[in-house]
Structure 1
């Protein structure tokens, strides 16, 4: 009589709690990432269709998402005034060709770099300053402040270079760098000396330009008597804040007449309000 063989049940490997947690976390991250992508595509659908479908032969082929954001931001601010800013880094500009951003939004003002530090004069300032006026742009001149150089010498450099006329913007102080050889408190003293000197000479309170982080860290409260032109290129930021006079929202715009990429700016008001801001 044959023996009956009893089979042992197969040994099942136990799945550790750590493994389950790992896969759960991985699935969660993938799901959230997918959701964010879908949300972004849906939100920017009109902008993406515009730039991907109709502009694929343009210069911004390598930078479509940045252009899509420009489209979206401009769409959100149709009641505002749009302008740009230039320096010698934009090279030779054909001012006759400049009139709008992709024939969608007219360009009405321009900020032009005049000086930097205590001795630098922008090599294209004189030419750009003259052409901006001749082509009916409201123009403004800005000084790039170097924290480790004498503030009054910097103010004198700007004053010597820039002659404002009726209809121009007030002077602009561009502060972006942190000091290397002094404290933040010393920097603030220098900035105040610069601003006071400029105010006394031109009889108009200057505008301060800076990045949003710099602005919120110490400029906003310490220099609250001034108005601000703030730079923020964050992809998810689409609306100008109430306390920003100007918003530089992109550094990657393409404008006919300028071969290099250009910064775009929005004024926080109407065309009529913009005229009230200019020098009388």
Structure 2
């Protein structure tokens, strides 16, 4: 039950604790469909233990084409529903991937990456598996330490250590999920990752993803809402269905 509350604290508690920061980022908890200009982009969602048993055929019927499933957090938590969610998505015909929720104050990026890969965060070039994703954002456990007590330079080093280990073990650099505000606050808007990592930008209740952080010229995934027609958070892929499949294969 304590771990079940992790998701609530991430999606609700963090918003309450960092209201000003999220306002600056243009992020709200509004639930709405994608903007009209994005109507032709592949829709997807992300889920965690909060969603428990997901009705995958229903999600597909409502437009889901891909999903990211929370696998791990730090080095001591694995989503107890991960196997059913991850395998269920694939059996239904969705392209799926796994994500890790980072807690940089708990252990090194290398240690967390190893734990992630060994507990669901692997990748294969089968056209059905999205690259592993790193969810790095506001601290859900201490609103006074949104950067987890790390300096901007140490945070950049932590992300690189996670990324290097994931690439060594899977052959892919992780997708990076974040907000523009957090990235500026905690990495100094580092441009070091843009050329080698796909961006999964979070900006809710808006007509677009807004200004992108870190020198990224475009977004690959956009999380545009916390509720809508699909279980969990609502996302779009920036391309065609064929491009999504190619991205899963490694381009």
Superposed CA RMSD in Å reads 2.0
Q: Deviations over 1:103-139 (max 9, x none)?
A: xxx2100000011101211111111111011000000
Q: Would the aligned equivalents of 1:207 and 1:229 in 2 still touch at CA under 8 Å?
A: yes
TM-score (structure 1 length as normaliser): 0.67
TM-aligned CA deviation for residue 276 of structure 1: 1.2
TM-aligned CA deviation for residue 175 of structure 1: 0.2
Q: Which residue of 2 is the match for residue 25 of structure 1?
A: none
TM-aligned CA deviation for residue 215 of structure 1: 3.4
- Identify the match of residue 239 of structure 1 among 181, 204, 208: 208
Q: Which residue of 2 is the match for residue 172 of structure 1?
A: 133
Question: Distance in 2 between the 1:138 and 1:215 partners?
Answer: 27
Question: Distance in 1 between the 2:87 and 2:228 partners?
Answer: 23
Query: Is 1:214 aligned to 2:182, yes or no?
Result: yes
Q: Deviations over 1:62-82 (max 9, x none)?
A: xxx945xx23x3422122111
Question: Distance in 2 between the 1:219 and 1:230 partners?
Answer: 14
Q: What secondary structure is seen at the aligned counterpart in 2 of 1:83?
A: strand
Query: Is 1:229 aligned to 2:200, yes or no?
Result: yes
Q: Which residue of 1 is the match for residue 25 of structure 2?
A: none
TM-aligned CA deviation for residue 97 of structure 1: 2.0
Question: Distance in 1 between the 2:183 and 2:61 partners?
Answer: 29
TM-aligned CA deviation for residue 184 of structure 1: 2.1
Q: Would the aligned equivalents of 2:35 and 2:208 in 1 still touch at CA under 8 Å?
A: no
1:84-99 to 2 correspondence within 5 Å? Answer: 84-99=45-60
Q: Name the one with the larger helix percent.
A: 1
Q: Which residue of 1 is the match for residue 15 of structure 2?
A: none
Question: Distance in 2 between the 1:231 and 1:273 partners?
Answer: 21
Q: What secondary structure is seen at the aligned counterpart in 2 of 1:176?
A: coil
- How many residue pairs end up in the alignment? 202
Q: Which residue of 2 is the match for residue 149 of structure 1?
A: 106
Structure-2 change in CA distance of 1:134 and 1:66 (3 Å): same
Q: Any runs of at least 4 consecutive aligned residues in structure 1 with deviations exceeding 6 A, and if so which? A: none
Query: Is 1:278 aligned to 2:237, yes or no?
Result: no
- Identify the match of residue 80 of structure 2 among 123, 138, 146: 123
TM-aligned CA deviation for residue 100 of structure 1: 4.3
Query: Is 1:114 aligned to 2:71, yes or no?
Result: yes
Over alpha carbons, which structure has the higher Rg?
1
Q: Would the aligned equivalents of 2:30 and 2:226 in 1 still touch at CA under 8 Å?
A: no
Question: Distance in 2 between the 1:278 and 1:219 partners?
Answer: 27
Question: Distance in 2 between the 1:205 and 1:219 partners?
Answer: 19
Q: Would the aligned equivalents of 1:111 and 1:141 in 2 still touch at CA under 8 Å?
A: yes
